Amino acid sequence: MIIITGGAGFIGSNLIYALNKRKKKNIVICDKINSKLKKEYLKNAKYKILIKPTKLFNFLKKNSEKIKYIFHLGAISVTTATNYTKLLKNNYEFSCKIWKFCVKKQIGLIYASSASTYGNGKNGFKDSASLKYLKKLKPLNFYAKSKHLFDLYISERIANKELLPPQWIGLKFFNVYGVNEFHKKKQMSVISYLIPKIKKNMEVKLFKSHNKNFKDGYQKRDFIYIDDCLDIILWLYNKPKISGIFNAGTGTTSTFLDLTKILFKNLKKKEKIKFIKTPKNIEKHYQYYTKANISKLRKVGYLKKIKRLEDGIKYLIKKQKN
């Protein structure tokens, strides 16, 4: 039995289909289904049962001998969230309980961290589990802080030489884009957000830069297509001797302006771009530059080529037509 928290969400639902392709159907989803979209995401998925997060630990206790692995992808992922107490309960304390269960029952665990934990990037994008390094990072928003705290929690367990799960993987996801993210509304990837607007010949609004080191539209991010993320997840899952924190990105950057131009080109629409002032609630924790250092992932043996942004966008547009 495989448990997937956040299994009705973006990465989670895509992971279920990827596991189904590998003949794995004994899957338990832990998630809230509060939208028609989430139900739509799972309509062709093969899984055993769906349980609410409030029922998870009782289910784990009763079925501990049957559980082979946990993919912990569920979280409050709203980067503008201001209720830190709620974020701590859902993103940190909930994760700590899953970790303790995996340690006690010796069950493998892959969990979602985030590139947002790197803050403004001045300390680099090194996917290290070193307590010394992690303490240098300064996340810019409450969501990122809640994810960072769990990375620190694990690092402290390692430093104290405590018992760990037989395999544990923390994945720092960079800007993931793909199918099944429309339920996130304004929190979805900029790519999925802009595609329907451009199709309708609408004007695209990009944030102005409020950093003297970046021109308008030249803010840079590392955008990774969902299928590449899934491939990284499942490759690590199939390498039980490998544990650690790893970046899930491409190792390359693209500007928002270039990204938008690629979308217009592939959707065969005339460019309509306007720069607007960044809202105050976003400006103060805005990341101007992210770039995954994937040397650690390559070093442990993951050698598959990761899609360039233009190829990923072409693939996504084609998939949405089918």
d(CA 97, CA 176): 26
From 184, 199, 239, 307, the catalytic residue: 184
- The closest alpha carbon to 165, from 86, 107, 225, 89, belongs to 107
- The closest alpha carbon to 253, from 140, 107, 115, belongs to 115
- Tell me how crowded residue 167 is: count the other CB atoms within 10 A of its CB: 20
Q: Give SS3 for 313.
A: helix
Phi and psi, residue 62, nearest 5°: -75, -25
Q: Give SS3 for 4.
A: strand
Q: Looking only at Cα atoms, what is the longest distance across the chain?
A: 59
Determine which helix (DSSP H) or strand (DSSP E) holds 266, and give its type and residue range: helix 256-266
Half-sphere exposure of 11 (CA within 13 A, CB side): 33
Q: Are 177 and 192 in contact (CB under 8 A)?
A: yes
Distance of CA 197 to the CA centre of its chain: 24
Residue 143 bears catalytic tag: yes
Residue 32 bears catalytic tag: no
From 92, 118, 143, 237, the catalytic residue: 143
Residues recognised as catalytic: 143, 184
